């Protein structure tokens, strides 16, 4: 059960980091060196492990800042792979593409995997593990990639780097269809979001534990890492009841999750460090924009406000 011990890591807190601010987004304007430095100095000393989602200019700048500023972070670096098949089950606009686009995505995905390998080999002291994708096999994804292709990526990467290799996915596919992939990865990475499944905060930790233990029971010989678990602070009602999200509830879930995972020695990346205004619909209360422990202006929300009051005394 102790994923820190099984992966040879020192127990410490972990968080998902994406530094896109107002007017920035992947494939558009990226955060610059000074903006990422500002973010990492906020996180430094409280979180040691960061999870990055993509092998893009954002990740390259994060690595540059950590090295130049001599910051004590270690990274799980991801490759973001796009749809290689249509997913007609996707519940929102997306998931269905022209064949020409799917073919281009296959080419681009291989380039992402190659870049993941390059960065892992260039920074073996900073990158402690890699992931070949994110939520690409779950039934509701808009970037569906079949298990066989993800398995191919895992095998490719394992041949060419020394770090452990994983694939980050919602907990459900690990229970129903990813047995071959589970066998091949060095550890299993799961996402658990009770609030998306209409759980009240009072039942949320028990539900997270249930998600975790169900995967651990099905795959008893693999370390299990929680690569996403979090609580939104605002919602327009799209998939999440607005009455079920606020800063008090986020604080409660954050504190309970950290207490449990630290007691059990489970590596758990809280989702996420900063609100990301580029995500989801244009509506300001779109829940995808409001998962950060910090607001987009980098002010702390209630979950960590006390910590930062202590820091600045």
Q: 50 lies in a domain?
A: yes
Q: Can you tell me the mean pLDDT for 20-45?
A: 97
Q: What is residue 110's predicted lDDT score, i.e. its pLDDT?
A: 98
| Predicted confidence (pLDDT) per residue in 190-248, tens digit | 999 999 999 999 999 999 999 999 999 999 999 999 999 999 999 999 899 999 999 99
Mean pLDDT taken over the chain: 96
Enclosing domain of residue 289: 3-73+145-311
Percent of the chain beyond pLDDT 70?
99
Q: Is residue 87 domain-resident? A: no
Domain assignment of residue 232, yes or no: yes
111 part of a folded domain: no
Examine residue 10 and state whether it is found in any structural domain, yes or no.
yes
What does the DSSP assignment read for the chain?
--HHHHTT-----EEE-----TT--TTS----HHHHHHHHHHHTTT--EEEE--SSHHHHHHHHHHHHHT---EEEEE--PPPSS--TT-SSS-S---HHHHHHHHHHHHHHHHHHHHHHHH-TTTEEEEEEEES-SSTT-SS---HHHHHHHHHHHHHH-SS-EEEEEEHHHHHHT-HHHHHHSSSEEEEE-GGGGT--HHHHHHHHHHHHHHHHHHSTTS-EEEEEE---S---SSSS-GGG-SHHHHHHHHHHHHHHHHHHT--EEES-SB--TTSSSS-TT-GGG---SB-TTS-B-HHHHHHHHHHT-
pLDDT beyond 70 at 312: no
pTM assigned to the model: 0.97
Residue 261 placed within a domain: yes
The confidence score (pLDDT) of residue 310 equals 72
- Identify whether 150 is part of a domain: yes
Q: What is the mean pLDDT of residues 45-49?
A: 97
Q: How many domains does the chain contain in total?
A: 1
CATH of residue 60's domain is 3.20.20.80
pLDDT range class, residue 181, cuts 50, 70, 90 = very high
Q: Is residue 88 part of a domain?
A: no
């Amino acid at each position: 059960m102790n994923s820190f011990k099984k992966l040879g890591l020192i127990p410490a807190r972990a968080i998902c980091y994406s530094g896109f601010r107002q007017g920035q987004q992947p494939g558009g304007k990226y955060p610059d060196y000074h903006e990422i430095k500002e973010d990492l100095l906020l996180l430094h000393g409280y979180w040691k492990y960061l999870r990055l989602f993509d092998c893009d200019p954002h990740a390259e700048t994060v690595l540059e800042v950590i090295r130049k500023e001599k910051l004590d972070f270690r990274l799980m670096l991801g490759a973001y792979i796009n749809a290689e098949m249509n997913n007609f089950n996707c519940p929102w606009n997306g998931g269905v593409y022209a064949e020409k686009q799917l073919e281009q995505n296959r080419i681009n995905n291989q380039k992402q995997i190659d870049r993941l390998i390059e960065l892992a080999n260039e920074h073996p002291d900073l990158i402690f593990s890699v992931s070949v994708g994110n939520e690409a096999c779950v039934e509701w994804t808009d970037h569906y990639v079949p298990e066989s292709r993800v398995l191919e990526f895992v095998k490719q990467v394992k041949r060419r780097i020394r770090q452990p290799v994983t694939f980050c996915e919602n907990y459900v596919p690990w229970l129903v269809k990813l047995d071959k992939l589970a066998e091949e990865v060095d550890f299993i990475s799961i996402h658990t979001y009770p609030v998306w499944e209409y759980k009240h905060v009072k039942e949320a930790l028990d539900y997270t534990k249930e998600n975790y233990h169900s995967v651990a029971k099905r795959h008893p010989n693999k370390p299990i890492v929680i690569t996403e678990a979090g609580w939104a602070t605002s919602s327009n009602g799209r998939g999440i009841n607005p009455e079920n999200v606020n800063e008090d509830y986020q604080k409660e879930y954050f504190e309970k999750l950290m207490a449990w995972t630290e007691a059990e020695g489970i590596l758990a990346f809280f989702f996420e460090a900063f609100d990301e205004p580029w995500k989801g619909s244009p509506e300001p209360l779109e829940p995808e924009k409001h998962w950060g422990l910090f607001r987009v202006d980098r002010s702390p929300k209630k979950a960590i406000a006390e910590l930062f009051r202590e820091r600045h005394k």
